[in-house]
Structure 1
Amino acid sequence: MTRIVQIAPTIEPGSGVGGVAYALEREFLAAGVQVERFTAADAGRPPAGARRSALGTHLARAGNVLWFTTVGSRRARRFLAERPGAISICHNDVMAGDVYVNHGLLQAAMRARGNYAWRMVRNPVHLFTALRDRIRYRGRTHRAIVALTSREAALLVEVYGRVRAPIHVIPNGVDVDRFRPGEPSERAVLRDELGIAEDATVAIFIGHEYERKGLSIAIEALPLAPGVVLLVVGGTRDMVRKARADVDRAGLGERVVFAGEQSDPVPFLHASDVLVLPSAYEANALVVLEALACGLPVVSTPVGFAPDLVVDGETGFIVDRSAASVGARLAELAAQPLDAWRERSRRAAEQHSWREVGRRYLELVHALEAENSSEAARAARKAGRDGSAGDAQ
């Protein structure tokens, strides 16, 4: 029976790395595969404490990366050694596992944001991560690498020059049952709670990294798109406070609503009309797929999965990373009925269910299992020949 161990800091419903591992786990179980987890908690990492300041949150995240890479890697290897027949899939930090899923390239993200050298040097964890991943991709840590898009596969080679393990492109999927178009009542209830008029065109921005994902560009685009309200989901309290101050200084306070960190983005997608993502870099941009599944056209820069999913004039627009470009497309969408856009967006997302993605991962797992069987057979034959030679002597 096929056995899979998934390694990730957390494995739980939601977006991000933990949500991807959780969705794959569900598909593996549905296919009759035995699945185990190895998370930071399983490795012995204490749970996070109470709410912290922005600096405290940053330091805690840095500590988690360092701990899971070092202590977590050692403990993961011991865990896997006790399960010699399992195929392991690693999603972040840990230097172990048959398959490594590349959820993003730090160096590519820093270069996309500008001032690359300064951004790397000012944060020692960035230097640590860059060195760790150079060892990961150019060494023998993993037997296969999964890139989420063809562009990301090319970036791996551009950044590291040579990637020893074979690269397989398998995009993330979407839960088309959970991420679905909202009912009018669902839309109305949350809009009322947020103080957003029913006739407003709501552009939703989702993300915790305001700078990289281009929140300032989305805000600067608003004067070019009358009637559009920007709904911002994500960000720490300090990030929200600073962004709200910038919005107020620009005189746009009535057109930007900050919802803060939310465990479930679905109700906010249901309350919205379009996703705006003027990001500098995304490994996959799963939020694009989730928005399309909820029937929202997407205005995005050409990052991650967006160029493969968004068809100009049908399911949204691929734009330059400028307020003028973003604003023009938001204004265009706000000026017309969106029913047909919603239908086309939903149909596009339905082609990328997690079931199909899980099937492709299982194909890779079975290929690695076949390699294991071949290697075991060769080792048995060699042992037999060595034994026969010894007997002859």
Structure 2
Amino acid sequence: MRIALLTRRFDSAGGGTERDLIITAEYLRAAGHQITIFADEIRGATGEWDIRRVGPGPRLGRTLSLLRFGWTAAPTARRAGADMVLSFARCVGADVMRSGGGAHASYVRAARKWRGVIGATAMRITPYHRVQMIVERQAFRSPGLKRVIAVSNFVRDDLIREFGLAPEKTLTIYNGVDLERFRPATGPSERAAIRQKFAVPSSARVVAFVGNGFARKGLGFLIEAWPLVAGGAFLMVAGADRQTDKFARRARALNVGTRIVFTGPQPNVETIFHAADAFAMPSLFEPFGNVVMEAMASGLPPMTSAFSGVAEIIPPSMRGFRVENPNDVGEVALRLGALFDAPASLGAEARATAEKFTWTRYAEELNALIGSIG
């Protein structure tokens, strides 16, 4: 079958959606399908894939580009001979829509939790976000849409609620995790070397936080709770954010600045996991949370929140680390205490849980879906 994959941006070195799309393309090709990728923006293209830009000609502003791509990508792919159109972006007319983030309208509503009322209102009325909501509503209500893939039940339930989708046509296919890259540390020396690099004591308890967009992912709540954390524990923060200095100043004001280490972006983020004893990300809005699975694959028990899709697959033994209300600093501190008191055996259980969610499993479920509608 000739399958078209639609994406706003193709980047061979990208993460997140770009990585998911390339992995999907690889598995579909391995199953015997002919793959063509249609994108609005192309970076790092190689001869490995047939990649075509939608709407050739001068670049438009991001709002007009979004609008053009949303309405023309699927028809363009069909004119090029596609038998099936699978979209990783908000596009009207696809056969299958894959949602990695839920309804954009839900994201905008949730944004007041970390942007405040004024910031969220400004976001909601900007043309860029308004166009995203208009296009996605048309896309998910398109009469030709056959199936919707969600990356978690958190996202699936949101899409059904927001767009009135038929539950039987909306299914969850969890992402996989790279079990070779993300693995437990091989020994004390590997762990010690990373700690020494960032001046973290070898004997300290260490929690890792990894991600960009610190406010949405709950870093502020961890910092506020850190003075309540006993035993001189350290927090290692890996990632980029325009307001990093603001978070660092708050840590110093709370007299925990020496115990919160901002490493900046780390290309080999698995090494941060090797230096840690546990992982924490009490997000305010997290459709899934691939990084939590990566931490678990690295042998770290995780703190999650009730607003994270990945919390659905956390085993019962670790559900006591789930934060119901990230704004409640006392609860965050309580969950951190439970995390520190957890038995060492949970590391192996975290790894075993991650091992159930391979990319091979993802491919089998995806191919079963394609076969059911092909």
TM-score above 0.5: yes
Q: 1:106/1:263 Cα in 2 relative to 1: closer, same or farther (>3 Å)?
A: farther
Contact 1:312 1:318 in 2 (8 A): no
Cα distance, 1:75 vs structure 2: 4.9
The corresponding residue for 2:94 is 97
Query: Secondary structure of 1:109's partner?
Result: helix
Q: 1:117/1:215 Cα in 2 relative to 1: closer, same or farther (>3 Å)?
A: closer
Identity %, equivalent residues: 26
Contact 1:149 1:284 in 2 (8 A): yes
Structure 2: how far apart are the matches of 1:316 and 1:343? 17
**Residue identity opposite 2:65 in structure 1:** W
Cα distance, 1:295 vs structure 2: 0.8
Q: TM-score by structure 2 length?
A: 0.83
Structure 2: how far apart are the matches of 1:3 and 1:186? 46
Q: Whose helix proportion is higher, 1 or 2?
A: 1
Structure 1: how far apart are the matches of 2:143 and 2:266? 39
The corresponding residue for 1:169 is 172
Contact 1:5 1:88 in 2 (8 A): yes
256, 262, 276: which one pairs with 1:258? 262
May I ask how many residue pairs the two structures share in their alignment? 351
Q: 1:110/1:73 Cα in 2 relative to 1: closer, same or farther (>3 Å)?
A: closer
Structure 1: how far apart are the matches of 2:22 and 2:320? 29
Query: Secondary structure of 2:5's partner?
Result: strand
Contact 2:223 2:250 in 1 (8 A): no
Structure 1: how far apart are the matches of 2:183 and 2:61? 37
Query: Secondary structure of 2:20's partner?
Result: helix
Q: 1:265/1:98 Cα in 2 relative to 1: closer, same or farther (>3 Å)?
A: farther
78, 85, 90: which one pairs with 1:88? 85
The corresponding residue for 2:287 is 283
328, 339, 342: which one pairs with 1:333? 339
Contact 1:11 1:21 in 2 (8 A): no
Query: Secondary structure of 1:313's partner?
Result: helix
**Residue identity opposite 2:16 in structure 1:** G
The corresponding residue for 1:110 is 108
Q: TM-score by structure 1 length?
A: 0.80
361, 366, 373: which one pairs with 1:361? 366
Please provide the CA RMSD for this pair: 2.9
Structure 1: how far apart are the matches of 2:346 and 2:282? 20
Segment drifting more, 122-131 vs 3-12: 3-12
167, 178, 183: which one pairs with 2:181? 178
Cα distance, 1:66 vs structure 2: 4.9
Contact 1:310 1:317 in 2 (8 A): no
**Residue identity opposite 2:180 in structure 1:** D
Contact 1:43 1:76 in 2 (8 A): no
Query: Secondary structure of 1:212's partner?
Result: coil
The corresponding residue for 1:143 is 146
* 1:196-207 alignment, distance < 5 Å: 196-207=200-211
Asked if 1:43 corresponds to 2:76, the answer is: no
Higher-Rg structure is 1
The corresponding residue for 2:355 is 350
Mind listing any 5+ residue stretches in structure 2 that lack a counterpart? 43-51
